[in-house]
Amino acid sequence: MDPQRLKDNFAQVGGHGMDVAEYFYADLFERNPHYRSLFPASMRRQQEVLLGALSQIVSLVDDPERLVPYLEDLGRAHAGFGINPEHYPEVGTSLVATLKYFTGDDWTAELEKDWAEAYGVVSDVMIKAAGQK
Ligand code: HEM
């Protein structure tokens, strides 16, 4: 995994602002309509916190001493929201689809592999911290 490649790609995608979070949730709920009820009626705040969390994670991707405790807290919070390990791969699929969409022609097989790997590590830490693995 190449941390700088992830940061550069996220900076490029992040330039599209809230459209990114909107696209992500639309994709997630289209693939998994039954996930909608896990979230509040108004998605506005959720869209903002998602973008904030992703940008925090990407900025700490090469700083595990700070990243791991952050993800552990986030994982425990998610168990409290009723999220279990089966939900994680679906969110990863929509996340990669969103990054791919906003990256357009610059998307590469390496980016796809890096993001899948990074998301795998992130979800592993979250799930383990919640005592779900
Ligand atoms: C990389 C993985 C993920 C990140 C970065 C992330 C980020 C966040 C953040 C920052 C919050 C707000 C936490 C708070 O208010 O304390 C949140 C809440 C939430 N997330 Fe995630 N999340 C991830 C994975 C997932 C997965 C796999 C699901 C399953 C569908 C999920 C569903 C939810 C729900 C239902 C809430 C609570 C909404 C509410 O009632 O306010 N998240 N997420």
> What number is the average pLDDT over the span 84-92?
96
pLDDT-based confidence at residue 1 (cuts at 50, 70, 90): confident
Query: Ligand 1, from 10, 29, 50: best to mutate by most atoms within 8 Å of Cβ?
Result: 50
Compute, in degrees rounded to 10, the torsion defined by CA atoms 90, 126, 124, 50. Answer: 40
pLDDT at 133 over 80: no
| 5-26 burial: b if 16+ Cβ within 10 Å, else e | ebeebbeebeeeeeebbebbbe
- Architecture of the structural domain at 3-129: Orthogonal Bundle (1.10)
Helix (H) or strand (E) holding 116: helix 109-129
Q: What local confidence, expressed as pLDDT, does residue 111 receive? A: 96
Q: How far is the CA of 112 from the centre of ligand 1 (A)?
A: 22
Q: Is 97 exposed, middle or buried (0-12, 13-18, 19+ CB in 10 A)?
A: middle
Q: How far is the CA of 78 from the centre of ligand 1 (A)?
A: 6
Using a pLDDT cut of 90, give the percent of the chain over it: 93
Q: What is the pLDDT of residues 90-108, one digit of tens each?
A: 999 999 999 999 999 999 9
CA 73 vs. chain centroid, Å, equals: 15
Which atom of ligand 1 is nearest to 82's Cα? 35
> What number is the average pLDDT over the span 40-57?
92
Which atom of ligand 1 is nearest to 38's Cα? 35
Using a pLDDT cut of 70, give the percent of the chain over it: 99
**Domains of the chain by residue range:** 3-129
Measured between alpha carbons, how far is 117 from 89 in angstroms, rounded to an integer? 12
**What is the CB neighbour count within 10 angstroms for residue 99?**
23
Residue 76 amino acid letter: R
Q: What local confidence, expressed as pLDDT, does residue 131 receive? A: 87
Q: How far is the CA of 133 from the centre of ligand 1 (A)?
A: 18
